[in-house]
A and B are shown apart, each in its own frame.
Chain A
Amino acid sequence: MLLDRIVITCCSQLKTGRSVSAIYHLLKGKKSIQTVQDAHIYKLDNFYGIYKSLKKQNFDGKIDKLTSAGLIQHNGNSSVIPTTLGYEWLQKNANSIPLYYFNGMKYSSSATIFFERLVLLIQTITNSSNNNLNFIPVVDDKPVVTGWVKKQYYVIKQDQNYFLQSFYDELYDLLKCFQDQEASMFVDSLTGFKHYGMSSYQLANNYNLNLIDVPLALTGIIHHMLFTIEQDSRKYPLLSRIKNELPEYSNTTKSATKTRELLNCHYTAEEISIIRNLKLNTIYDHIVEIALYDERFPLDNYIDEQGQQEVLNVINRLKSYKLKDIKQEINKEISYFQIRLVLAVENIT
């Protein structure tokens, strides 16, 4: 149900612009420029990387099911759009886990770490305050989680009761911002002393969800938690700490970061291509990626104002973001690279 809603919403945004696998890459959070650009251009950045464990076969199955239910339809060039029925269905089923909870572009890399730290911290402190240090930790193979919890533990150990009480108060306030079912589901997934949290399968059973929606629902809840904590961080000092001490994360790929360093040293794309021994088109990809995130990207260095305006005019006339269509309608002097840069910059602001 939840995945259905998200997939149909994605279809409605992408329209005929992109193929159906673009949705899959988006949900998986593929670190390719194409996917990141899709997220921005089609205003789907909230869904970026929200379902990293999604399997291709399950996704394909979902598309087939939605198609045969008449909610979406295939459109020649392997793209998929919602039917009228699909739009109606979307309207009717907007209740639990609102889609605005999701903010994948912002939280997809930190949400899992935040949640795992929270869970492991609760398991550790509740066991420790029962004088039981022989428990099998729910997470034990990620230093970014376990190392952090260990450090916290030495501080909290001094006054565990105080910690538990304040932690309860904060979580209580935070969960009050959610519907009861959402709050309950979240609490059921936590592990404490002599109590193991529910598996995906159990949550699906207890809350009448499809198994495939469970990870998504939890992700939505966690994203909205992160957002709520951020809005009023003074109200949630402990939770803010879990959230804020996350490792630095940059949205740009490693390779693009290197290219940016060279750009900052005033090398041209062509020179960087030689220095790095990479194809010029790869460097172009990097620059487009940088343009997506850098609000002060010097677009004028790459295409003059007249050219920029021309690209925008064509887009407005065609009502399409498809590069090929735009290229055909535009002055031959303007390259694909320049069109992509305009798209990247225009859509982020």
Chain B
Amino acid sequence: MSVNILRTQLLNQFNIRSFREGQEEIINDVMHGKDVLGILPTGSGKSLCYQLPAIIMEGVTIVVSPLISLMQDQVKQLKSTGFKSVIALNSFLEQKEKKRVFQHLDEYKLIYISPEYLQQSQIIDYLKNIKISLFVVDEAHCISQWGHEFRPDYLRLGSILEKINNPTVLALSATATKEVQEDIIYSLSRPNIRKHIYPMDRENISFTVQKVNRENEKKEIIVNLLKNHRVPTLIYFSSKRKTEEVAAFLSENVPSHRTAFYHGDMEQLDRNTIQQQFMNDQIDVICCTSAFGMGINKHNIRLVLHYHFPLQIESYIQEIGRAGRDGESSVSILLYTSGDELIPNAIISNELPRVERLDTIFMNLYRLYIESPKFLSYQDMQEKLQLNETEWRFLHYQMEKHGMIKGNKIVYQKDKWSNALHDISALIETRKSLKERKLREIINWIHEEECLREHLYKSFQDSYKTPLYGCCTNCGFTINEWSAKQTEVNHSTNTWENKLQNLLLIGVQNA
């Protein structure tokens, strides 16, 4: 494929004039049938690396994607550019529609699918019979035990690749330490994969950590900051309730700014509205959980604040990476008060079943087995064993791996079960201490006295680019010296008659 054809497609379909760092190299390799591991920083246009080949290459491109909302966003965005032969396969697909779609899989160019959905033997059978030009694993760090969203079904991707005749693989991620990279390569059994690793440091972002004595001081700092700057701003929280609380507080105390909140419990329609308004600069500030941001392509976010800090450095890098995609000077601010550690600690201890409970869980499973070895539905089992969703997802995979569950049967063998109990307990302990180590890393970073930039990126790369603007608080940057282009707002209060006129473009000369 010549460079020219690539560029023409680029312009026609995506209205983009040139490639960004890394894109062209990765696209060229996968189009020549080479397996690729691509680590590109957030906001560098990872998805183009498979969307463009998907259009040009013969056959279907499969994209394994971790979040249903992310899939749906991407499908919507692609459709809005006129690329229609794309679909997201996930549990939301209705039974009737599913059948029709499955029978016509080869008519799509791009199929987004969740790793869980890909486990169904039915879909595998269909995929065996079509030409797959490229198999993409998006957010590939999820494969890794060391990655941040441990998803057992990601670990099964290696065996699925075999079943569907080993297509070319493209694994993409924004943040992957060397440990994680090795894990990805191992899980996909692709030792000869070509690595395209690009540094993830962002030279246009200045880093600020601000320690306060009380939580209320965080609010005061934000109010003062916003009073001086009206720029597109994200504020990250660990708690859904807090996003609403602080958004209400800001609406009251900084009435000049348009503030909204966003979290995973909101209706889809309201979530879309908030996203789109933020894109259009109709909203200045969004108080959000980590649910906001993936797949959002706003170029002029200037400020990213952390009211709570995330569980690990990787998430932090992703979240601050949403600032300043246009290359202009942008600032990240982390607000810390002692006691903030309690939230991430609680999250970690709720993610996996407690080791002390394993005995009881095994006992209950045994009782079910005595009643009938036939496995109830996945959901019923979760209920009977009294587990939350992540606990059950984890245990189900482990029990399968240890031969306690086979297909839709519970298989009892005394020795196997006691081994499994031992292994799973050990694994939980390992995972927990790993997460605690990750948490300590970010806490240490918060208390770092040397250059924040250097220490933020040190486990990912050896060096970093010279910052274009202020470096970090420890290198002497203060927020007072920062200035950015302010969002302009039309202040006139309109009557509904005026608003309706504006909306329907009355009095505007149209082409």
Where the two chains meet, the residues of A that have a C-beta atom closer than 8 Å to any C-beta of B are 122, 126, 129-131, 133-136, 138, 140, 160-161, 164-165, 167-168, 171-172, 175, 180, 183-184, 186-188, 190, 192-202, 205
Contacts and interface: CB of A to CB of B under 8 A. Distances in A.
A192 B77 contact: no
A187 B499 contact: yes
B224 interface: no
Contact of B503 (A134, A175, A192): A192
Given A140-B76, A160-B510, A184-B496, A196 B503 contact: no
A31 B506 CA distance: 43
Given A160-B510, A183-B496, A205-B251, A199 B273 contact: yes
Enumerate the 3 nearest inter-chain pairs by beta-carbon distance, A residue then B residue, closest first.
A184-B496, A196-B276, A199-B273
B496 A180 contact: yes
A168 B501 contact: yes
B270 A187 contact: no
B272 A138 contact: yes
| Max chain B C-beta neighbours (<10 A), residue from A175, A192, A194, A201 | A201
B346 interface: no
Contact of B76 (A136, A172, A180, A183): A136
Contacts of A187: 496, 499-500, 503
Nearest to B497: A172
Given A140-B76, A199-B273, A201-B270, A190 B503 contact: yes
Interface string B497-511: 101111111100011
Given A184-B499, A195-B280, A164 B273 contact: no
B504 A164 contact: yes
A135 B277 CA distance: 13
Contacts of A188: 496, 499
A129 B261 CA distance: 32
A201 B262 CA distance: 11
A60 B77 CA distance: 40
Interface in B175-200: none
Interface in B241-291: 251, 260-261, 269-270, 272-274, 276-277, 280, 282
A136 B81 contact: no
B270 A167 contact: no
B504 A192 contact: yes
B274 A126 contact: no
A136 B80 CA distance: 6
Contacts of B80: 133-136
Interface of B: 76-77, 79-82, 251, 260-261, 269-270, 272-274, 276-277, 280, 282, 495-497, 499-506, 510-511
Contact of B500 (A129, A175, A198): A175
Contacts of B506: 164-165, 168
A131 B217 CA distance: 48
B453 to A, nearest CB: 36
A111 B270 CA distance: 19
16 contacts: A130-B510, A134-B82, A136-B76, A136-B276, A140-B76, A168-B501, A172-B497, A175-B500, A183-B496, A188-B496, A192-B505, A193-B505, A195-B503, A196-B276, A196-B282, A197-B273
A174 B21 CA distance: 54
Interface residue SS majority, chain B: helix
Nearest to B276: A196
Nearest to A178: B496
Contacts of A201: 260-261, 270
B251 A122 contact: no
Contact of A136 (B77, B260, B504, B511): B77
B504 A199 contact: no
A54 B280 CA distance: 30
Contact of B274 (A140, A183, A199): A199
Nearest to A134: B80
B511 A196 contact: no
B500 A136 contact: no
Contacts of A198: 273
Contacts of B501: 168
Contact of B270 (A136, A172, A200): A200
A164 B505 contact: yes
B81 A134 contact: yes
A186 B499 CA distance: 11
Contact of A196 (B82, B273, B497, B500): B273
Nearest to B271: A199
Contacts of A197: 273
Contact of A122 (B273, B499, B503): B503
Given A129-B505, A172-B497, A202 B280 contact: no
A202 B504 CA distance: 21
Nearest to A181: B496
A137 to B, nearest CB: 8
A193 B172 CA distance: 34
A126 B503 contact: yes
A130 B282 CA distance: 19
A257 to B, nearest CB: 22
A160 B261 CA distance: 36
B284 to A, nearest CB: 13
A171 B81 CA distance: 31
Nearest to B258: A202
Contacts of B269: 138, 199
A166 to B, nearest CB: 10
A202 B503 contact: no
Contact of A168 (B273, B277, B495, B500): B500
Contacts of B503: 122, 126, 187, 190, 192, 195
